[in-house]
Amino acid sequence: MKILKTVLIVLAAIIAIWLIVAAFISGDCKYEKSISINAPAEKVWGNVNSLKAMDQWSPWNEKDPNLRKTFTGIDGTVGAKECWESNVKDLGNGCQTLSTIDHQNKRIDADLKFLTPYESEAKGYITVVPEASGSKVTWGFTSEIPYPFTIMKLFMNLDDAVGKDYTLGLQKLKKISEKP
């Protein structure tokens, strides 16, 4: 009985410490990568301004040859939606819906909803900015980690989690955009 009481006290202390520490950690989460592309912004914009254009350089297509995708709505317009289903754990199931398309400032935003391997939401974005030698593309997302899971920020490294995929995707975009 004494051992059980000790175990319960230790467990309660661990939970209390977890909750206290988590209260001081912001749930805001942001990740982005950029690349310079030797092509005019208009040309690069044509490779990012719709779901099917983005699908041409998606780094996740290669991870699952049986990846199933469905597109609904009018591609390249607000409300267009792409959903995917995969048995590959890293890909899981989810959808992205175009929420903003700013042709003038060359920015596209999407609402992302991941259903598996765990349920979460994020806001994805891509910007294309003219540079002296071509264009700079920035691809990123923002998300909110709910309390008390904010403590996970102490242990997670987004660059390790998605950095390689973002780099691969941007390199593929660069190759497509720099073709004559």
pLDDT at 105 over 90: yes
The pLDDT of 162-169, averaged and rounded, is: 94
Mean per-residue pLDDT for 96-125? 95
Long-range contacts of 69-73 (CB under 8 A, 24+ apart): 73/98
pLDDT tens per residue across span 1-45: 888 888 888 898 888 888 888 888 888 899 999 999 999 999 999
Query: What is the pLDDT averaged over residues 145-160?
Result: 86
Q: Which residues contact 71 (CB under 8 A, 6 or more apart)?
A: 51, 52, 80, 81, 82
Q: What is the pLDDT of residue 20?
A: 83
Q: With respect to CATH, is domain 27-178 assigned 3.20.180.10? A: no
Kindly list the domain boundaries of the chain, sorted by start residue: 27-178
Q: Taking a C-beta distance cutoff of 8 angstroms, is the pair 124, 109 a contact?
A: yes
Q: What angle do CA 47, 99, 170 make, to 5 degrees?
A: 30
Tell me the per-residue pLDDT of 39-70, one tens digit each, with 9 for 90 and over: 999 999 999 999 999 999 999 998 998 999 99
* pLDDT of the residue at 158: 85
**DSSP β-bridge partners for residue 71:** 82
